Structure 1
Amino acid sequence: MTVIVRAFRPEDAPAATEVLRAALPFMVTTPEAMLWQSAHAAPASRYQLFVAERDGQIVARGEAGIAHESSTPGQAFANVYVHPEHRGHGVGALVLRTAEEHVADAGADTVYSWVLDEGPNRAFAERRGYRSSRSAHFLRLDLAAAALPQLPAIPPDVTLAPVSDWADDPRPMFALDAECTADEPGDLDAALDDYEEWLDTTWRDPLLDRELSTVALVDGVPAAFTAARTDGLTRYGSGMTGTARAFRGRGLAKLAKAHSLHRARAAGYTEAFTGNDADNAPMLAINKWFGYEICATEVRYVRDLG
């Protein structure tokens, strides 16, 4: 058996996407999105995709980079995904070591990694000096079979609009996304303060469905939104869902997401996925109301690079 770990190349996208889908079937991704992510990552992130070949077949995918949006310098991430049929042969260890070397060379002193909450995966991380931190859930909703709750009534001062209405000037969407992102629970804080970077990495992401992504406006002011990510076939994923601080407590995010899900089902999407920090009780309650069920849990692990 020969295993080679190398930098991702554009022609790897279909095989690397299949690896990610097999390892994390709750993710919504496409080869086009993987190519975009690789080509349009913020330079400051030093983002790098890796693949592992076993006897010439791509069997693992890794990603690593600097958490450049964090206020704490030296923070990095390294996530490794091995096809289930090729685990137990040392492939993941080689990818992780390559990813750690990459971020160390970029100046990182701490690295975070998401690990599925399963015995072998957790043992893999802990043997390599990682310690567990917070957890997050993947949730799934069967759009084809589930009976979605009735759409909530729209208050008189509220209107709903697709994100595509801001195609000519997305800056209000950037401001709303930045405020909600700043308050999202997690190990690392994140400040969205570069509009041009946001345009390139978020607004133009091929997975962003601007028609299904929905904004709730209060007296014409964007107040809450849900970002929909779709594969163009059957799978719908929720990106950020949030409400500006001045409008919280009114159920506006729930309203926006309800309308997005109903329209997604009408458009032919059959599965909806989302992810929530395990401590984000308000969003978990909203998703339970929609009928989402937890289908897997990840644990964030951290290691100090020495």
Structure 2
Amino acid sequence: MNFTVREATESDYPAVGAVLTAAHGGRTVSAADLKASAEKTRTHPKGLHLAQWVAETRGEIVGFAGVVQWAGSHHPDRYNTTLAVPPQFGRQGIGTALAETVQAHLQGRGVQEVLAAAKENEPYAVAFLERRGFTELEREFANILHMADLVPLAVSLPAGYRLTSLQDFRAEVGEERALEAFRATFNEARADEPRQIPAQPYSMDDIRAYLKHPTFFPEGIWLAVTPSGMTQSGEVAALTELWQDLGDPQRLSTGLTGTARAHRRRGLALALKVAALERAQRRGIRQVITHNASVNVPMLAINEKLGFRPEPADIQMRWGAICSKSLAKVMQEASKGQKV
């Protein structure tokens, strides 16, 4: 097949979404999803990098490759890559050409570490990455809950905590105080979440950007808050998140669920997750999707208890590695709220 590789534009996103959907055989990827993700990356206060290409033949897009930096695990020399070719166009050199384009681009930027993923039920994709020097890092499951299968659990917040949405909490205590309280627990929960790539702390600028994403669901972030009379009035003890799906108004994705260290082992995370899912069910939501690393055993157990069922795992793979001294410096600067 004769094809060319060129930089992608926003006008390509409908076709790119179709390529990604067909290549991975899973959740539909819409042009709106791609546009929102690109906008988030390009406008992020960290100055994140984004580059995208398409393979095209006779005006038809038959492959896609992308390079992006993620805010939550950001390091200036770490990049995440995506490469997709629909099955009907496989084994014709398209994937190889796109991979070579990505490689040349990253070498020009002095890359130290590259992350990619392949489905465990697609051994050819795993082998493609292994031939290019990638090795397995960890496995992540997409767990799907059909809301008709939600298991009713009689759980509630223990005495001394109250349930509120982030939206209402901001109105109650003020924007700055609410976001700082949210950020403190958000960072602490992410820091202790089992993962191979360390979570980088979010600054206040990061949090503001995070909550301006087009998929932000104002009614989807729920908090367990300490009332007056405890150590700190209005402390966010735990949180859980649901995010909109731009391609399907009846589907949501989960974000972080976690508890501040001082408030753990009291059932807060489970109670919050149940409350959020029950409210979503009453709003007519049909499906909720969550992603969990295989090493995150506590959250996998909670999701299974609620009725989530795992899809084939994504094998997270890595080429190269960030030296620990360099990474520690970046995380230290981020924890102080500096832009990096």
Q: Is TM (by shorter chain) over 0.5?
A: yes
Matches within 5 A, 1:23-102: 23-24=23-24, 26-27=26-27, 30-41=30-41, 42=44, 44-66=47-69, 70=73, 74-102=77-105
Who is 1:194 aligned against? 203
How far off its partner does 1:114 sit?
A: 1.2
2: CA distance between counterparts of 1:204 and 1:28?
A: 23
Residue 182 of structure 1 is aligned with which of 183, 191, 209? 191
Who is 1:207 aligned against? 215
Structure 1 spans left out of the alignment, 5+ residues: none
Q: Which amino acid aligns with 1:281?
A: V
Who is 2:5 aligned against? 5
DSSP-derived class of the 1:161 partner: strand
How far off its partner does 1:134 sit?
A: 1.2
DSSP-derived class of the 1:120 partner: helix
Which of the two has higher C-alpha Rg?
A: 2
Q: Kindly indicate whether residue 291 of structure 2 is the aligned counterpart of residue 287 of structure 1.
A: no
2: CA distance between counterparts of 1:239 and 1:61?
A: 26
Measured against aligned partners, the alpha-carbon deviations of 1:132-162 in whole angstroms (never above 9, x if no partner) come to: 221111111111x314323412322121122
RMSD between superposed Cα atoms in Å? 2.5
Q: Kindly indicate whether residue 118 of structure 2 is the aligned counterpart of residue 110 of structure 1.
A: no
How far off its partner does 1:174 sit?
A: 2.6
Structure 2 spans left out of the alignment, 5+ residues: 228-233, 322-340
Judge which range, 72-81 or 290-299, deviates more.
Answer: 72-81
Higher strand share: 1
Q: Kindly indicate whether residue 271 of structure 2 is the aligned counterpart of residue 263 of structure 1.
A: no
* Identity level (%): 27
Judge which range, 69-78 or 79-88, deviates more.
Answer: 69-78
Higher helix share: 2
| TM-aligned CA distance change 1:34 to 1:68, over 3 Å | closer
Measured against aligned partners, the alpha-carbon deviations of 1:60-107 in whole angstroms (never above 9, x if no partner) come to: 333213467658763322122333443333322222322233232222
Alignment: residue pair count = 303
Matches within 5 A, 1:233-244: 233-244=249-260
Normalised TM-score (structure 2)? 0.80
Q: Kindly indicate whether residue 243 of structure 2 is the aligned counterpart of residue 229 of structure 1.
A: yes
2: CA distance between counterparts of 1:24 and 1:249?
A: 38
Q: Kindly indicate whether residue 265 of structure 2 is the aligned counterpart of residue 249 of structure 1.
A: yes
| TM-aligned CA distance change 1:48 to 1:269, over 3 Å | same
DSSP-derived class of the 2:118 partner: strand
2: CA distance between counterparts of 1:85 and 1:245?
A: 50
